[in-house]
Structure 1
Amino acid sequence: MRRMSDQPARWTQATVYPDMWADPADDLRNNEDSPDGELATLLDFLKNYRITLRMKCEGLDPEQLARRSVPPSTMSLLGLVRHLAEVERDWRNWITEGDPLPKLYGVKDADFHGAVAEQAVVDAAYADLEREQAATDAALAGHPNLGARVGKDKVAIRELMVHRIDEYARHCGHADLLRECVDGRVGQ
């Protein structure tokens, strides 16, 4: 168990704005052009939250990525990467009439329980996330009408897109706190 004196000092790499994660020139989320239209806006927000999650994880070793900060929680940065791969896969189940895709990691919370400090697990988690994001993006590209209702439950594409943004945003908030506990790095 950690003692208060074991907590890392807070720090940031930003030099322009001290409450930022990175300087504006180094921030991949900075976009000079505002997206045009509802779908483009939704996709831009999703892209930026995906980048934020990766930024919060970059530079950490497998032990740091797998570290659980608040017992008895099973949440870790690596667990979040695995969880988001799992939910990307599940969102495809929302738009199909067919049988659901099997879970990537097994029973409930296996995405977090299996987030162990091994490089092979880290590499597989990132590969899973990239693959599942690409597959969900491709499946949704076939439904450009945000008002279209799809799947067994006739969910609107707009609702699914907003839910995706919500999921990433919520977990990026978790990632902020997890990263600060790991090495003290802070920023938006």
Structure 2
Amino acid sequence: MTTQRSEPAQNADERTMLEGWLDYHRQTLARKCEGLTDAQLRTASVEPSALTLMGLVRHMAEVERGWFRKVLADDDPGPLYHTEEDRDGEFHLTEADTWAQAHATWQAEIEIARRHAAGFALDDLSKGRSRFTEEPFSLRWIYTHMIEEYARHNGHADLIRERIDGATGD
């Protein structure tokens, strides 16, 4: 299966453009993971790093959950993978961790994020707060941050994928 990736509109309103860029980067990460086995998706970038493609997907599920559920909507179901003892739990994979599970969890968090965001205007402030500040965030800020977060991690994904099988691309 090839993930379809749509170029963001070049002349859309601000919200459509922000949502388009966010979806573009979500789709880019999915494409970086396509065609690999679970073992390849669990392959670390370089010792001693635990950074893997599957770990990045699990991390982005946590990030989607944190910003759109906890911060934006003040709906805190708790973390998916990390704990107080293991703050980077999403990157600590075992042989039991599968792409099917990681991908399904990530996609579910994206759908919940979309539903929450649909109830806010760009200038509306979040109902919840992050662990970094007691100040609320506008939906515009959250969208911009999420685009930055995906873009940064897609750069990591490029390098990991190239290490695994030599595949490069946009």
TM-score, length-scaled by structure 1: 0.78
Question: What letter is aligned with 2:101?
Answer: A
**Partner of 1:186: helix, strand, or coil?**
coil
**Partner of 1:155: helix, strand, or coil?**
coil
Question: Is 1:183 the counterpart of 2:160 in the alignment?
Answer: no
Q: How does 1:146-161 map to 2 (within 5 A)?
A: 146-152=122-128, 153-161=135-143
2:36: which partner in 1? 60
Distance 1:52 1:166 in 2: 13
Question: Is 1:174 the counterpart of 2:156 in the alignment?
Answer: yes
Question: Is 1:109 the counterpart of 2:82 in the alignment?
Answer: no
1:74-114 CA-partner distances (Å, limit 9, x unpaired): 1000000111111111112111346x321001321110002
Structure exhibiting the larger radius of gyration computed from Cα positions: 1
Distance 2:3 2:77 in 1: 35
- Cα 1:102/1:51, change in 2 over 3 Å: same
Question: Is 1:140 the counterpart of 2:117 in the alignment?
Answer: yes
Q: Which has the higher contact order (CA 8 A, sep 6+)?
A: 1
Q: Give 5+ residue unaligned stretches, structure 1.
A: 1-25
Distance 1:49 1:75 in 2: 18
Q: Give 5+ residue unaligned stretches, structure 2.
A: 129-134
1:80: which partner in 2? 56
Percent pairwise identity: 38
Distance 1:57 1:27 in 2: 10
CA RMSD of aligned residues (A): 1.9
- Cα 1:32/1:53, change in 2 over 3 Å: closer
* Residue correspondences, number: 159
Question: What letter is aligned with 1:77?
Answer: L
1:146-186 CA-partner distances (Å, limit 9, x unpaired): 11112243211110010111111111000000000000011
Distance 1:80 1:117 in 2: 16
1:70: which partner in 2? 46
Distance 1:96 1:28 in 2: 29
Distance 2:95 2:163 in 1: 16
TM-score, length-scaled by structure 2: 0.86
CA offset at residue 121 of structure 1?
Answer: 2.1
Question: What letter is aligned with 1:71?
Answer: E
1:57-79 CA-partner distances (Å, limit 9, x unpaired): 10000111000021111100000
Distance 2:51 2:107 in 1: 20
**Partner of 1:149: helix, strand, or coil?**
coil
